[in-house]
Amino acid sequence: MIYDLSLNIAYDYPAAVKEARHVLRVRPRELEGQSVRSTRVTVTPQPDEAWRELDFFGNALDQLLILPGHEAFSVAMQARVEVRRALPDLEATPTVDELAAAAATARECGASGPMHFLGDSRMARKSEAVTAYARELIDPAAPAGEAVLAFASSMKADFAFAPGATTVDTPLEEAFARREGVCQDFAHVMIAALRGVGVPAAYVSGFLRTSPPPGRRRLKGADAMHAWVDVWLGPDLGWRGFDPTNGVSVLDDHVVVAIGRDYSDVAPIDGVVLTAGSQKTSHSVDVIPVGERAEA
C-alpha cells in the first residue's frame, strides 16, 4: 500500500509563551517493509533554530527553539509512505520459554538489541497482577509468535476501548485494573505483560489506516495517531508488530513513526515552554491510500 499521510497538531496558550524548546517525533521511519518517499514538516511560528537528528533508537527528531513571544504553536506533517510487509510464519518461532532464554543471554547492544526491552521503563513497569494475567494466557511451550498473537487477541476481548477513560499519564496498573483505556494503555499493558514472562517488547507509535462504514465518505482529519507493540521473536525473525487494540498482527495498515521502550520515548512533541496557565491542544490525522479521495 502507498499512503498519503497528514498530521496536524495545534496548541493554544492562555498567556504568551516567552521561550519554547520542542522535540518533534512526527516523521515516518525508513524500515524493512516501509519506505518513505517524501516528508515535509511545517512549524508555526517559524523557529529561530531548527535541526534534525536521530535518537538512540533511530527515530527522526526535529529540534526547535522559538524565542519570540507567541500564543499559539502548530505542527503540520505531510508524507508519502509505501508499506509492504510479509506475514511471518508465527508457527515456526521458538517457544516462549526458548525465546525468553535467548533474550536473557542476548548481548546485542545496538538499538534493536532485546536487552533494552526486557526491564522496567518509565511508563511500562512490570507488576505482579499484569504478569499473572500473562501467565494465565501465554503457554510457555507454545510457539512464541502464535502465543503473542493469541495474547493480543485476548486483550482485545478483555479490555474496552474507551476514549476519555484515561489520560496520557494514567499508570498502566490503573488501566489494567479497570480493563479499559485507549491504544496507549493497551500497548503499555501488553509490554509489561510480555516483559514479565521474559519476552522483549517495544512501544511503537504511528498511523493506522481506517475505513469508513459502508456507504459513508471518509471524513478528513477523523483519524488519530495509534500505538502498538513490537515483539522480539528471536535472532532469525527479529522484531514483529502486534496490535492489542485490534487483536491483529501488524501488516500493511500500520505506518511506523517512532519506536521506544514506552510512550515517553516516542511522544510526538516534547519540550519546555515558559508560560502560565493550562494549554489547549488539538490534533487531526489522515491516512489516505493513494488514489482514494478524502472528502470533508
**Does position 295 have pLDDT exceeding 50, yes or no?**
no
**What is the percentage of the chain residues whose pLDDT exceeds 90?**
85
Three-class SS state of 249: strand
Average pLDDT value for residue range 113-123: 96
Residue 88 pLDDT: 86
Q: Distance between CA 4 and CA 25 in Å, rounded? A: 18
**Does position 5 have pLDDT exceeding 50, yes or no?**
yes
What average pLDDT does the chain have?
A: 93
Residue 218 pLDDT: 66
Nearest to 111 by CA among 241, 258, 255: 258
Helices (H), 21-143: 96-105, 128-137
Three-class SS state of 49: strand
Residue 294 pLDDT: 44
Query: How does pLDDT run across 161-179, given as a tens digit for each residue?
Result: 999 899 889 999 999 999 9
The model's pTM is: 0.94
Residue 60 pLDDT: 97
Residue 41, Cβ neighbours under 10 Å: how many?
Answer: 18
Tell me which amino acid residue 184 is: Q
Residue pair 129/176 in contact by the 8 Å Cβ criterion: yes
Nearest to 210 by CA among 295, 287, 156: 287
Task: Compute CA 1 distance to the chain's CA centroid, rounded to the nearest angstrom.
Answer: 20
